[in-house]
Structure 1
Amino acid sequence: MHGPIDRLRQAAERRAAAGLTRVLRPRSPDFDGLLDLASNDYLGLCRDPRLTEAAVAATREWGTGATGSRLVTGSTRLHHELEEALAAFSHSPRSLVFSSGYLANLAAVATLGRGGLVVSDAGNHASIVDACRLARARVVVTPHGDVGAVEKALAGREEENAVVVTDAVFSVDGDLAPLGALSEVAVRNGALLVVDEAHALGVVGESGRGAVHNAGLAGNAHIVRTVTLSKSLGSQGGAVLGAPEVIDTLVDTGRSFIFDTGLAPASAGAALAALHILEEEPDLPKRAREIALALASTARELGFETTEPAAAVVPVVLGDPHRALAAAATCADHGVKVGCFRPPSVPDGRSCLRLTARANLGSEDLAVTGRALAAVAGTKVTA
């Protein structure tokens, strides 16, 4: 019988043989001199002096940490101001700030779906998958974007409580969920619709108010939105947006809210500054989408499989994980840092590069990216 460390070592060897080893690579502030097409900084705000100054000001006033959970000492006036701003910007009745988008998803799905039926899209983010497991509910995973399968699952249920959950913009493929149709199905079957707007807030719709707002569904009581502050808003943290009854339920019973330390003041201040910038510069989201379309067009012209991006995410599908790793290294050799996604982040046979657009990229950046992808297209890799 092998000991526990031997079993872990053997599992690591199997992952290495399959091309699924992951390595932490600390970077420099300038991404080691590479053009950044890997981060989620869609609007280029992470290093914006206005956010930096807001984070510093919040730290000087409130200190380096929230000092406790939100229900003890971790709710400051700054948190309240951010929650009001998020709700107003997104045209939602209320919002509740968490220390990460992951925890916001855990709270929304696990709390609202508890003991009932949760219907989840097969392409949903890992945080949603984990939330489904924590809900202690019956979970039905439907084929990606299949509204008919969602309706069938809801209509045939015995549980009174039901939640449908979907990404708004899917984190790897970059496509948009059929929110209008899902909303109609949810209403017809007495279910809540939870929409993860992590990759939509700040990029999709008017002034980046998100996919729910863009679909004309903002403020509907049966729709609950989760967002992250760590992508377009260039900060850290997450939030749930919804009806007062939803927010009150999460405050009273949401475990990942009740038992977690509140968001650091610096992150709250930076996110609040980013919302102000979006109000003042409403063309930033459109610019990010235009860059994404240009990246997808370049990839397509070189013969790669990709999608028509709904936001800032552009996949370049390569299939084999070894090929994806080699392609990412080739891009780095040509001056571009890209994401490399392999199972279990994507299904088997769908390993890919993930390019993320930023609103502050220029024509020369696109040209450099085109040359890097052209080098990948000409590279043959033996696994």
Structure 2
Amino acid sequence: MAHPFSELTAELDDIAQQGLYRSRRIIESPQGINLEIDGRNVVNFCSNDYLGLANHPDVVNAFKAGADQYGVGSGSAHLICGHSAAHHALEEELAAFTGRDRALLFSTGYMANIGVISALLGRGDAVFEDRLNHASLLDGGLLSGARFKRYAHADAADLSANLEKAAGNKLIVTDGVFSMDGDFAPLNELAVAAKKQGAWLMVDDAHGLGVIGEYGGGIVEHYGLGQDDVPVLMGTLGKGFGTFGAFVAGSEVLIETLIQKARTYVYTTALPAAVAEATRASLKIVISESWRRDKLKKLSERFRLGAEQLGLQVMASSSAIQPILIGDSQRAVNISNALLDAGFLVSAIRPPTVPQGSARLRVTFSALHEEQHVDRLLDALAKIIAGCK
């Protein structure tokens, strides 16, 4: 009789042969642009800590003070006894930051997306998702039980054609900044299509909030849109804000609906109050230190220009995410490994995270990087890619 896991073993072998096997690296230092990993020091070019706040002393000290005041665990769900004064203050500050009536904390971005979509939609409704949306958005749409339709990437015309055929409540769902491509959703066009067809628009701005816009207001600030244009805004706290967790911001009726109906909010433990206190500190830095966003833009543009001069196929991105298209998964892994040997940590992104044949090196920048880091990375890429052809 075959071992119950024999099929899984064969599947793992197949994944490895395709160059798609994933493995973890152990980090032995705080997050930042310089990491100690597997006993060596490397320059980190694959973090989502865009503003360099994950180890900022003000944020760390706020976390310590929060632990001293509230302890480590939150003890329960928000609706039982886990909703602290720190959580409540952070929600109010995030609502003010995003220019919305209210905000609601979730323990993770994945849980926020699944919870929101399932709370707003059910059988008889319809959800429309960009083809390149994050897995959590796609899973949320599928789990909701609503009719699920994907539209061509960033194509408002294709979306509109599908919207006209739908019945029931209609929800359009998109990333703000697409995490593996770095490009922006055409939010102004999507908002027009939504209003024309009486649909709701939900934006996951995990990679835009804090990073995009003069004041860090993300993709909605970039397009000059408000709560009426984009009724549902989701943001994560573990990227630009440098901490952990997520939130949804919108109208009073939206937030009250989520408190009553979002199962991933109702039935899970609240994130630690100390994390909320750390995020309150990081939010102040996000608002006050615009030089971090300015520097990110300059570094990204410097890299982009240098990569194009080397003949590298950089993807169309105006964000801190600057992917280099490689194509073959194993070649992407080989280049990533060679970069690690040269002292640079750059992730190889492969299917199913990205479409077949579009494996890439996902280069991301932090406000803590300097121009010399960018130039050294470009020099290493020039040598390594020439040798991996």
- TM-score of Structure 1 vs Structure 2, range by shorter chain: over 0.9
Q: Tell me, in whole angstroms, the C-alpha distance in 2 between the residues paired with 1:242 and 1:34.
A: 41
Aligned to 2:238: 230
Q: Quick one: distance in 1 between partners of 2:385 and 2:22?
A: 24
1:264 corresponds in structure 2 to 272
Report the equivalent of 1:83: 91
1:83-122 CA-to-partner distances (Å, cap 9, x unmatched) read 1111111111111001111111111222223231000000
| 2:17 paired residue number | 17
Would the aligned equivalents of 2:214 and 2:290 in 1 still touch at CA under 8 Å?
A: yes
- Paired with 2:313 and 2:194, the residues of 1 have a C-alpha distance of 33
User: Structure 2 matches for 1:158-307, cutoff 5 A?
Assistant: 159-220=167-228, 222-307=230-315
**Which of these residues, 44, 53, 56, is aligned with residue 45 of structure 1?**
53
| SS across alignment from 2:346 | strand
State the match for 1:64 in structure 2. 72
Distance 2:321 2:93 in 1: 26
> Does the aligned pair in 1 maintain the 2:208–2:218 contact within 8 Å?
yes
Residues 339-358 of structure 1 deviation map (CA, whole Å, 9 limit, x = unaligned): 21001000000001101111
Partner of 2:145, secondary structure, is: coil
**Deviation (angstroms), 1:363:** 1.6
- What do residues 37-77 of structure 1 show as CA deviations (whole Å, max 9, x unaligned)? 11100001111101000111111111101110010111111
Q: Which 10-residue stretch deviates more, 363-372 or 134-143? A: 363-372
Query: Hey, what's the Cα distance between the residues in 2 that align with 1:233 and 1:222?
Result: 22
Write the distance in 2 (CA, Å) between the matches of 1:270 and 1:212. Answer: 25
**Deviates most, 301-310 or 18-27:** 301-310
Paired residue secondary structure (2:174): strand
* Residue identity in the other structure for 1:376: I
For residues 260-283 of structure 1, give each alpha carbon's deviation from its aligned partner in whole angstroms, at most 9, with x where no partner exists. 110112221111111101222123
Q: Partners in 2 of 1:15 and 1:345 — Cα distance?
A: 14
Answering whether residue 35 of structure 2 is matched by residue 31 of structure 1, we say: yes
Deviation of 1:310 (Å): 2.5
Give TM-score, length-normalised by structure 2: 0.95
5+ residue gaps, structure 1, are none
Alpha-carbon distance, 1:3 to partner: 3.9
Write the distance in 2 (CA, Å) between the matches of 1:262 and 1:171: 26
1:222 CA drift (Å): 4.9
Query: Amino acid of the residue matched to residue 28 of structure 1?
Result: E
**Which residue of the partner structure matches residue 142 of structure 2?**
133
Q: Which amino acid aligns with 2:19?
A: G
Name the structure 2 match of 1:333: 341
Q: Show the counterpart of 2:160.
A: 151
Whole-angstrom CA distance in 2 between matches of 1:302 and 1:114: 50
Structure 1-normalised TM-score? Answer: 0.96
Cα drift, residue 323 of structure 1: 0.5
Counterpart amino acid of residue 320 in structure 2: A
Structure 1 residues 294 and 113, CA, compared in 2 at 3 Å: closer, same or farther?
farther
Report the RMSD for the aligned CA atoms in angstroms: 1.3
1:104 aligns with one of 88, 97, 112: 112
Compare 301-310 and 346-355 and name the one that shifted more.
301-310
Question: How far apart, in 2, do the equivalents of 1:27 and 1:201 lie?
Answer: 26
2:319 is aligned, of 287, 307, 311, to: 311
Count, aligned residues: 380
1:184 and 1:286 mapped to 2: Cα distance? 30
Give the partner amino acid of 2:269.
Answer: T
Distance 2:117 2:63 in 1: 30
Q: 4+ runs of 1 displaced by more than 3 Å?
A: none
Counterpart CA distance in 1 for 2:149 and 2:17 is 33
Query: SS of the counterpart of 1:208?
Result: coil
- Taking the aligned partners of 1:187 and 1:294, their CA distance within structure 2 comes to 39
Question: Residue 71 of structure 1: SS of its match in structure 2?
Answer: helix
Q: Distance in 1 between matches of 2:320 and 2:230?
A: 27
Q: 1:318 to 1:221 in 2, by over 3 A?
A: closer
Q: Report what 1:370 is aligned to.
A: 378
Gaps of 5+ in 2: none
Q: Distance in 2 between matches of 1:199 and 1:283?
A: 18
Aligned equivalents of 1:26, 1:243: Cα separation in 2: 42
Question: Which residue type is aligned with residue 361 of structure 1?
Answer: H
Q: Hey, what does 2:101 align to over in structure 1? A: 93
Structure 1 stretch displaced more, 26-35 or 251-260: 26-35
Residues 36 and 222 from structure 1, CA distance in 2 versus in 1: closer, same or farther, beyond 3 angstroms?
closer
C-alpha displacement of 1:31: 1.8
State the one-letter code of the partner of 1:144: H
Shift of 1:130: 0.9
| 1:252 counterpart letter in structure 2 | Q
The Cα shift of 1:221 comes to 6.2
**SS of the counterpart of 2:83?**
coil
Out of 348-357 and 289-298, give the one that drifted further: 289-298
